[in-house]
Amino acid sequence: MGRLFGTDGVRGLANGDLLTPELALSVAVAAARVLIESDRSHQPLAIVGRDPRASGEMLEGAVVAGLTSAGANVVRVGVLPTPAVAYLVGQAQADLGVMLSASHNPMPDNGIKLFAPGGQKLPDELEARIEAAIEDGHGLVGRPTGAGVGRVHDLLDGAEHYVKHLVAATPHSLAGVKVVVDCANGAASDVGPAAYEQAGAEVVAIHADPDGLNINDNCGSTHMEALREAVIREGADLGLAHDGDADRCLAVTSTGEFVDGDQIMAILALAMREAGTLTDDTLVATVMSNLGLRLAMKQAGIRLLETKVGDRYVLEELTAGNLALGGEQSGHIVMPAYATTGDGVLTGLHLMATMASTGKSLADLAAVLHKLPQVLINVPVKDREAGAQAPAVQAAVALAENELGETGRVLLRPSGTEPLVRVMVEAATQEQARTVAERVADEVRAASPA
């Protein structure tokens, strides 16, 4: 078996070749067994949640069966955002959290995300132990019987606990702010609008009617055109877009300009520095963040630390330095004082609180960052590593970097969740960025045709 866990758990076509109920059961059994081996002092407790996609019902059954068959007790929390599940893991002092979601992916996909005690993302070492347990069939022997079998309970008010936590974490009343929120027909369809309203905002919710099939369907953070139109139509101060599991947040200004995660991080970093809550005047971002963010933070006297792509790596850096803010261009923003993972609704609350406390529009706040032209090409490949590491590809990258000099950069990254190689180029002009990116992408396609 190859590497099972990607940058954010296991993800694939639900009930397809990889992400089957059998695999979900095996992952659950192995995770429970690894936890039991690590600490035999008590019977493990697991929190299990999911987003609304139809296949989550099937996979939830398999995960619950696997956990209980290995001797873990289970609390099902139903449809909730990923950060809500992480929060409840910490609140319940659970040993494990399982979130069934494929985040921003189309409805047919699904995924298994695991959380360690405290609601933290699983470290690589623990993921490797779980993969090894699956591969050697360790989870299929020595099953408990009788009173040793785990029990299942349902938590009916998990959403209320989570919303109360979010509102308490909002630093300023949102009174006077009108927002349109695109819930992506996903896990935030109830808790997102509820949290914004309880914090004082006037809320117009769109794509907040999940039916199991319409999650991320031409809506949410990957399809923001409808949000832009709604903001202008409603005369709102801003729009917020979440993805299917609500761990990311992107925005739209009152005039319809898109605001990405880099701009949101810049806004929050400056606000937190002003409030004295930006530890060591440091922001953590990934290598995918725009060069403009680095330049803006340097000018503001804020240090920027870089990590690999994935909010888990951002969180590791935040934890290691006891830092207060980090995130990704895609809208995963992590604020460890309030959350153990990226939380889109929390991000939206703090963004609007900054608007309310300063009296500035989102456009004015976002103007602190001048983004360099950036082109991202997702190249379908048969072999991600071959597509990225082939000598001809590396030669093309070296040539491009020499051409761009200090006015741009090239980033080549195999996707952690899809059969893609991501080619990202920043340059002084959009035309130059596009030309260079297409040239490198052509070499990737030739090295590993899909």
302 SS3 class: coil
Whether 247 has a binding-site annotation, put simply, is yes
Beta bridge partners of 78: 49
CATH superfamily of 10-156: Alpha-D-Glucose-1,6-Bisphosphate, subunit A, domain 3 (3.40.120.10)
For the stretch 201-234, pLDDT in tens is 999 999 999 999 999 999 999 999 999 999 999 9
Q: Per-residue pLDDT for 358 more than 70?
A: yes
Residue 55 is a catalytic residue: no
CATH 3.30.310.50 assigned to 374-447: yes
Residue with token string 């920027």: 304
8-state DSSP, 215: T
Alpha helices in 51-155 (DSSP H): 55-69, 82-91, 124-135
For the stretch 402-413, pLDDT in tens is 999 877 899 998
State the pLDDT at residue 42.
Answer: 83
- Lookup: tokens for 1: 């078996």
State the pLDDT at residue 296.
Answer: 93
- pLDDT category at 295 given cuts 50, 70, 90 is confident
- C-alpha span between 342 and 418 (Å, rounded): 20
- C-alpha span between 380 and 445 (Å, rounded): 7
State the pLDDT at residue 141.
Answer: 58
Q: What are the backbone dihedrals phi and psi of residue 400, each rounded to the nearest 5 degrees, phi first?
A: -65, -40
* Angle (CA) 58 63 67, round 5°: 155
Q: What is the mean pLDDT of residues 382-396?
A: 90
Residues 6+ apart with CB under 8 A from 106: 216, 217
* Residue among 164, 163, 194 at smallest CA distance from 179: 194
- C-alpha span between 296 and 302 (Å, rounded): 9
423 SS3 class: strand
Fold of 161-366: Alpha-D-Glucose-1,6-Bisphosphate; Chain A, domain 3 (3.40.120)
Answer whether 148's CB lies under 8 Å from 44's CB: no
- C-alpha span between 384 and 422 (Å, rounded): 10
Residue with token string 């004295």: 276
- C-alpha span between 244 and 110 (Å, rounded): 11
pLDDT > 70 fraction of the chain, expressed in percent and rounded: 98
E strands present in 116-187: 152-154, 178-182
- Lookup: tokens for 401: 């970097």
Flag the least confident range among 221-225, 356-360, 387-391: 387-391
Per-position b or e across 157-167, b if 16+ CB within 10 A of its CB: ebbebbbebbb
Residue with token string 């959350």: 339
The count of other CB atoms within 10 Å of the CB of residue 235 is 9
Residues of the chain with CATH 3.40.120.10: 10-156, 161-366
* Residue among 379, 366, 383 at smallest CA distance from 443: 379
Q: What are the backbone dihedrals phi and psi of residue 342, each rounded to the nearest 5 degrees, phi first?
A: -60, 135
State the pLDDT at residue 36.
Answer: 76
Whether 17 has a binding-site annotation, put simply, is no
Alpha-carbon distances of 169 from 131, 207, 347, 385, rounded to whole Å: 36, 25, 10, 42
State the pLDDT at residue 1.
Answer: 46
Answer whether 206's CB lies under 8 Å from 180's CB: yes
Q: Per-residue pLDDT for 50 more than 60?
A: yes
- C-alpha span between 9 and 320 (Å, rounded): 22
Q: The pTM is what? A: 0.89
- C-alpha span between 162 and 198 (Å, rounded): 12
E strands present in 225-382: 238-242, 249-253, 258-259, 282-286, 303-307, 326-327, 333-334, 374-380
Answer whether 319's CB lies under 8 Å from 336's CB: yes
Spatial strand order in the sheet of 303-307 = 303-307, 282-286, 326-327, 333-334
Whether 243 has a binding-site annotation, put simply, is yes
Active-site residue identified among 103, 289, 330, 448: 103
Beta bridge partners of 379: 421
For the stretch 182-198, pLDDT in tens is 999 999 999 999 999 99
Q: What is the mean pLDDT of residues 329-343?
A: 95
Whether 211 has a binding-site annotation, put simply, is no
Amino acid making up residue 376: L
Map 260-288 to HEC letters.
CHHHHHHHHHHHHHHHCCCHHHEEEEECC
Instruction: Look over the chain and give the mean of its residue pLDDT values, rounded to a whole number.
Output: 93
For the stretch 140-183, pLDDT in tens is 557 899 999 999 999 999 999 999 999 999 999 999 999 999 99
133 SS3 class: helix
- C-alpha span between 405 and 280 (Å, rounded): 31
Residue with token string 């030309």: 435
Q: Which residue has the higher pLDDT, 35 or 114?
A: 114
Q: What is the mean pLDDT of residues 91-111?
A: 96
Amino acid making up residue 266: A
For the stretch 61-89, pLDDT in tens is 999 999 999 999 999 999 999 999 999 99
Residues of the chain with CATH 3.30.310.50: 374-447
For the stretch 258-282, pLDDT in tens is 999 999 999 999 999 999 999 999 9
Residues 6+ apart with CB under 8 A from 358: 271, 365
